Amino acid sequence: MSLAKSLIDDAGYFRASLWQNLLTKAAEATGKYDAICPFGFELSRDIQWLKRPLNRFYVLVGGEFPPQPEATWIGDQFARHVVQLLAETDPDFRQRMAFVRVNRTSNFRLKGPAYVASESDTLLGVLTIGDKRGALQAYADYVVSLLASSDFSHGEFAFFHEFPRVRRRLIQLTYMAIWINEGLGLSLLLPKPPGTYSYLYKTEIRDFYTGEFRKPPTDDEVAFLETVAKPVFTSFRDYLHKKSTANPYRFDVADLFSGNRISATLGLDDYERLTRFVKDTYLSYREPA
């Protein structure tokens, strides 16, 4: 029996449910692991994002992993399962996949070294997260740590002037913070981004393919950092820290870009409320039935 089924439905929506099922199968075929692929826009609860072109798929694989390099070897096996399941489920979509990157170091050019990638191609990024609670809880902790850390030590800030990918991620994370504020009705007065920045990253997938990972920021990116991102996260941090004195909760996360340990503190009630919102919006965000 054929397993083929397009990841894009007849109405033009990306089938997030089918993609999640595929990731779960790949994780289970690899071992006692789970996997998620958060885009970030789940926090908006606006399913129209699933009608936009999706070309970057960053997957977090959670569970108990051995030390490196074995963890990356496991991540490689997971990626191979994903690619194989894509070939069985949606061969056309599989043909669009050009680049696989595992744990920041293991790279696979699926279309040969001479190929020139374009924005119609896709990339698959896999990151193994050593957390026995699973990938979703680790992801929720990371998002909340950005809101509650005492400084701008996350990779999206620390490496801002080196890598276009962290700048694009920071733009995404800033929107996510704004959606959390709106979704939970926190009423923080946060600056809004003046518009879309997708035009800045038209060559990102091509650059990934050729190994050109570093570029200095544009004036627009620097302006976003100073006038939108920093004020948004500073406002969130100040709001959470003012409330944390009664019942403070401290936790550590692995920075998703560099792997460095990051500490954050906030009230336990706020931690539980925020992480629950991140997890619930991810689990409930699906294409229309």
Residues 193-237 have pLDDT tens digits of 887 788 888 888 898 889 888 999 999 999 999 999 999 999 999
Q: 211 in a domain, yes or no?
A: yes
Model pLDDT, residue 70: 97
Backbone phi, then psi, for 60, in 5-degree steps? Answer: -105, 125
Give the whole-angstrom CA distance, residue 5 versus residue 88: 9
Q: 2 in a domain, yes or no?
A: no
What is the H or E stretch that residue 122 is in? Answer: strand 122-130
Q: Among candidates 167, 149, 179, 145, which has minimal Cα distance to 281?
A: 179
Please state the pTM of the whole predicted model.
0.95
Q: 277 in a domain, yes or no?
A: yes
Number of folded domains that form the chain? 1
Model pLDDT, residue 2: 46
Q: 9 in a domain, yes or no?
A: no
Q: 289 in a domain, yes or no?
A: no
To the nearest 10°, report the CA torsion of 260, 265, 269, 270.
-70
Backbone phi, then psi, for 4, in 5-degree steps? Answer: -60, 130
Model pLDDT, residue 211: 86
Domain span at residue 71 reads 16-284
Give the whole-angstrom CA distance, residue 144 versus residue 11: 34
Model pLDDT, residue 195: 78
With a cut of 50, list the residues of the chain below it in pLDDT: 1-2
